[in-house]
Every structure is written in structure tokens, then in C-alpha cells.
């Protein structure tokens, strides 16, 4: 019996194979971009059949342009793409400044590849297979290779695990997923904050942005985080004492 073909929706004419051929992106990359929120999900006509629109084509072209011409990382591209109606109205000066910001960030935070096979590295540094997979969901070895910063993330997790966030107590790297949401939210706010003023930034000013302003924001965030956590813990303690003596 011949398999019945599913007709594409009127406004979503492309299967992932066709979208891959038009855009030049591999199917795995397109699926990854959907998973990461850079692309909207395909239009589903069945559980295993998804169709893509002209908007997907335009977004993939924009992603390639921002990557190749402006050297922007996916996190920054996601921040620019999300919440947009499709009209990407960035001035040439803004785009040039964003490219300069990316180059400055890359120069300041050089990330050296340690191994092309994170799975082989994991047991050597003490990560279980499950921990590696959960760290991947947080961005560990997001490029496919493990870098020095990836090793630092793994080292910090193992340090927390040794200090008590163990599997026996129900903890795993997945519990740190909220940090990804916090970072994405912060990056969205920071890009909006910078883009309002970045038109007139000279390269020397952008260098100060990378060397002084962003580290200062990180330090302020750390101080505010510790203060807020201390205040919340104090509130919990006081409330617990009140309930005990009621």
C-alpha cells in the first residue's frame, strides 16, 4: 500500500531538506537553532512531519549575515532575533559597533579548544555520562569541542558536587538550568541598553565597554545576588521561628 503524502501548509512550503538546500545550513544545525530559540518551531502536520516558512529562510539568512559579517555569537544573535516582528532595523553604525564589540570580546576572552571529543574527556575529569549530557544542555561544548571555559564550568560543578550538591541529595547539573535563563535575560537587557547608545561609540570606547563596564556589571550583579540571597534566607529563618513559637 503506497504511503499517503502529506500536503504542505499553504504558508509553509519547505521540508527541512528543502530549507537546508536553500539556506546552506545542515539539517542538524536547523534543528539546533529551533531548539535554542533562534528559529520558531516548524508547522506540524503530523508528529513526524514539520514544514518551514519563508520566515525561516529569512532568519537563517540573517543569522549567517550576523555570523559572517559581524562576527556575533549565537547568544547575541538570539537576543537580537527574539521578540522581533521580522523587521531588523539596525543602523550600519550599530552593526559596525556590534561587530567591533564582538571582536573586542573575542580578543579579551580567548577560548582555546582542549579536545574535539568531550565524551572522551568527561571521565578523565570526573564527569559521569549523565552529568556530561546535562552540562551540554547548559551549553557545555556547544560548538562540539570542549574549550578551556567548558573545563572551568565542569570544574566548578565538580567543586559544588564535592561540597554537597551530590546525586545522593538529588542534585545534578540540570539544576543549574535557571542560570541559562538568567544569562539570556541579562544579555537581552544589556544589548537593548547598549544599542540605545552604541551608535556613537568609537572603538576605544567599545574597548572600555569590554575591559571596564561589562566586568563592573558582573561584579555589581554578584554583590546584588549575595545581598538578595542573604535577605531571603533571613526572611525564611524569621518566618520559620515565628511558626515554631505560634
Distance (Å, whole) CA 59 – CA 64: 9
Q: Where in the chain is the domain with CATH 1.10.1660.10?
A: 8-69
Half-sphere exposure of 82 (CA within 13 A, CB side): 18
The pTM of the full predicted model, rounded to 2 decimals, is 0.58
**Which CATH fold would you assign to the domain 8-69?**
Multidrug-efflux Transporter Regulator; Chain: A; Domain 2 (1.10.1660)
Query: What integer pLDDT is reported at residue 69 of this predicted model?
Result: 63
Of 17, 29, 37, give the one whose Cα is nearest residue 143: 29
Nearest to residue 194, comparing CAs of 102, 98, 109? Answer: 98
Report the C-alpha gap between 62 and 194 in whole angstroms: 21
Q: How far is it, in rounded angstroms, from Cα 138 to Cα 143?
A: 12
pLDDT given for residue 163 in this prediction: 94
pLDDT string in tens for the chain (246-residue length): 445 556 677 778 899 999 999 998 988 889 888 888 888 889 888 877 889 999 899 889 888 877 776 666 676 677 666 644 444 456 666 677 777 777 777 777 777 888 888 888 888 899 998 999 888 878 888 777 888 888 999 999 999 999 999 888 999 999 998 888 788 778 777 777 776 666 667 778 888 888 888 889 889 999 999 999 999 999 989 888 888 877
Amino acid at each position: 500500500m503506497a504511503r499517503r503524502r502529506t500536503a504542505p501548509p499553504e504558508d509553509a512550503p519547505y521540508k527541512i531538506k528543502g530549507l537546508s538546500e536553500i539556506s546552506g545550513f545542515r539539517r542538524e544545525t536547523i534543528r539546533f537553532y529551533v531548539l535554542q530559540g533562534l528559529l520558531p518551531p516548524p508547522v506540524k502536520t503530523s508528529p513526524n512531519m514539520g514544514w518551514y516558512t519563508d520566515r525561516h529562510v529569512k532568519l537563517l539568512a540573517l543569522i549567517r549575515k550576523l555570523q559572517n559579517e559581524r562576527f556575533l555569537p549565537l547568544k547575541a544573535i538570539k537576543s537580537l532575533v527574539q521578540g522581533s516582528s521580522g523587521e531588523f532595523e539596525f543602523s550600519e553604525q550599530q552593526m559596525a559597533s556590534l561587530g567591533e564589540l564582538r571582536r573586542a570580546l573575542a580578543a579579551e576572552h580567548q577560548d582555546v579548544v582542549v579536545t574535539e571529543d568531550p565524551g572522551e574527556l568527561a571521565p578523565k575529569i570526573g564527569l559521569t555520562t549523565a552529568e556530561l549530557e546535562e552540562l551540554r544542555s547548559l551549553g557545555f561544548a556547544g560548538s562540539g569541542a570542549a574549550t578551556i571555559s567548558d573545563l572551568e564550568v565542569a570544574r566548578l560543578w565538580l567543586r559544588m558536587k564535592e561540597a554537597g550538591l551530590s546525586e545522593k541529595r538529588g542534585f545534578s547539573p540540570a539544576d543549574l538550568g535557571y542560570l541559562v535563563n538568567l544569562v539570556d535575560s541579562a544579555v537581552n537587557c544589556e544589548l537593548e541598553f547598549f544599542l540605545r547608545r552604541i551608535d556613537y561609540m568609537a572603538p576605544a570606547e567599545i574597548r572600555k565597554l569590554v575591559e571596564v563596564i561589562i566586568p563592573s556589571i558582573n561584579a555589581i550583579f554578584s554583590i546584588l545576588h549575595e545581598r538578595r540571597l542573604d535577605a531571603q534566607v533571613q526572611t525564611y529563618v524569621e518566618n520559620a521561628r515565628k511558626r515554631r513559637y505560634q
